[in-house]
Amino acid sequence: MEWDGWRFPGTGDTVVYLVFDPNDLLRAETKNNSAGNFKGIPCEVWQVHRLENRWYYVVLYRYRMGFL
């Protein structure tokens, strides 16, 4: 579910998703790195952070040339 988002003219869009991971598979992956490609997430992400057991927020950053 989309949780938050913001943008600045000429820079890009940032979108934050609230993610429920029923098997808590992201926990092991986020211990080593909070950015990149993760199993279960279909695209590269800027940041993944654990909120509590099975709940995460995922930050996607998309750069765009020119003004939005």
pLDDT tens column, 45-68 = 888 889 999 999 888 876 554 433
Q: Considering only CA atoms, give the Rg of the chain.
A: 13
Tell whether 43 is covered by a domain.
yes
Per-residue pLDDT at 2: 64
Number of domains into which the chain is organized: 1
Closest among 59, 62, 53 to 26, alpha carbons compared: 53
**Tens of pLDDT along 14-28?**
888 898 999 988 888
Section 2-23 average pLDDT: 75
pLDDT score for 51: 92
Is 32 part of a structural domain of the chain? yes
Domain span including residue 11: 2-63
Asked if residue 68 is part of any domain, the answer here is no
